[in-house]
């Protein structure tokens, strides 16, 4: 790769500046477009990668490798910068990183292709057009309604305990000890862990208060109560401190909400059951297919961890009962 030091520095610093200015321009307060748009998530990193590949090497360097390596480095630097200066939180940066890097690489490949077939003057025109593209497409997309979809996530777990022991663990959840709740990827990037769930009274209309770390509280109203079989409830965010979650992934916000949850107990044998936990969540973005991959992952890991807690407690109760009966 015939790279020049000055060209490489210009490409990386210019990419960071372009990306940072773009994030500031694409905000919820400015009329250009919001950050949770197809334009910002897909076209902005495309422009970052295109710029890095177009500027980062000297004349005569037409190899594909620099057109991928330089945009990759530029994309990482942009992501680190927006995190460091506080315009994005860790959760959003992690969720955005795969598509941001992929689109930056695509931009680099596109710049390399243009380099192969176009004159120097045409290359300059193409560069200007790509850098301007997000600012042209953003206001247009801003006028389009967001897609609204409901997604269902389901987890299943086998428990060596009877339905009575499992039911007792799902209607109310006493405080969860740290050693009971495993650490998963979503908690490492900032999602709070559940703490406990109380219930005002048994039966339909009972209100569960589900508490999570850092002051997050959900109100869950029971709509199906079938003892030893099924428990369903609606979910509404009751309290989410502003600094607990990034505003773009806050439950009950413009882009994401959790609507309901259901536990189903399926008997398998006298002392074995399958517990199914499912939930419905809403997505409202212009890129729901990509965003849905992340929201499904978040809900699946949260639900999976909750089921592990229920299994551990129900099986411990069943063992204690068996030991007591044997004694």
What is the CATH number for 272? 3.30.530.20
Q: Please say which residue of 122, 142, 162 terminates a domain.
A: 142
Query: What are the distances in angstroms from CA 76 to CA 29, 49, 96, 109, 291?
Result: 26, 11, 11, 17, 20
DSSP for residue 251: T
Segment 246-304, tens digit of pLDDT: 777 788 888 999 999 999 999 998 899 999 999 999 999 999 999 999 999 999 999 99
The band of 120, judged by pLDDT with boundaries at 50, 70 and 90, is: confident
**Rounded Cα gap, residues 47 and 83, in angstroms:** 19
Q: Please say which residue of 94, 115, 142 terminates a domain.
A: 142
- Whether 65 and 313 have beta carbons less than 8 Å apart is answered as no
Beta-sheet strand order (sheet of 217-226):
147-159, 272-285, 256-269, 230-239, 217-226, 207-212, 194-199
- Whether 55 and 4 have beta carbons less than 8 Å apart is answered as no
Average pLDDT over residues 71-81: 95
Q: How many domains does the chain have?
A: 2
Q: Are residues 134 and 170 in the same domain?
A: no
pLDDT for the residue 74: 95
Question: Of residues 37 and 266, which shows the higher confidence score?
Answer: 266
Segment 138-186, tens digit of pLDDT: 999 988 888 899 999 999 999 999 999 999 999 999 999 888 887 788 8
Domain that holds residue 71: 5-142
**What is the dihedral sign for C-alpha 302, 304, 308, 310?**
positive
The band of 2, judged by pLDDT with boundaries at 50, 70 and 90, is: low
Q: Are residues 219 and 96 in the same domain?
A: no
């Amino acid at each position: 790769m015939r790279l020049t030091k000055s060209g490489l520095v210009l490409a990386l610093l210019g990419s960071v500046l372009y990306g940072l200015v773009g994030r500031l321009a694409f905000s919820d307060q400015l009329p250009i477009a919001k950050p949770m748009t197809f334009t910002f998530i897909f076209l902005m990193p495309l422009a970052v990668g295109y710029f890095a590949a177009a500027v980062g090497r000297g004349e005569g360097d037409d190899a594909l490798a620099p057109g991928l390596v330089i945009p990759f480095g530029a994309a990482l630097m942009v992501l680190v910068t927006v995190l460091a200066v506080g315009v994005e939180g860790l959760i959003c940066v992690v969720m955005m990183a795969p598509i941001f890097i992929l689109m930056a690489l695509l931009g680099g490949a596109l710049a390399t292709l243009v380099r192969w077939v176009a004159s120097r003057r045409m290359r300059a025109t193409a560069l200007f057009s790509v850098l301007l593209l997000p600012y042209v497409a953003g206001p247009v997309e801003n006028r389009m309604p967001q897609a609204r979809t409901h997604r269902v996530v389901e987890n299943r777990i086998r428990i060596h305990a009877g339905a009575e022991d499992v039911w007792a663990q799902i209607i109310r959840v006493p405080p969860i000890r740290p050693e009971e709740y495993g650490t998963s990827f979503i908690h490492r990037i900032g999602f709070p862990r559940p703490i406990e769930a109380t219930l005002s009274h048994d039966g339909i209309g009972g209100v569960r208060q589900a508490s999570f770390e850092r002051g997050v509280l959900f109100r869950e109203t029971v709509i199906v109560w079938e003892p030893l079989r099924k428990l369903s409830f609606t979910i509404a965010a009751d309290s989410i401190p502003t600094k607990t979650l990034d505003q773009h992934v806050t439950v009950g916000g413009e882009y994401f909400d959790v609507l309901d949850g259901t536990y189903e107990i399926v008997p398998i044998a006298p002392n074995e059951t399958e517990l199914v936990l499912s939930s419905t969540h809403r997505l409202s973005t212009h890129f729901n297919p990509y965003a849905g991959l992340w929201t499904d992952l978040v809900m699946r890991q949260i639900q999976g961890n909750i089921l592990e807690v229920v299994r551990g407690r129900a099986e411990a109760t069943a063992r204690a009962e068996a030991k007591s009966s044997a004694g």
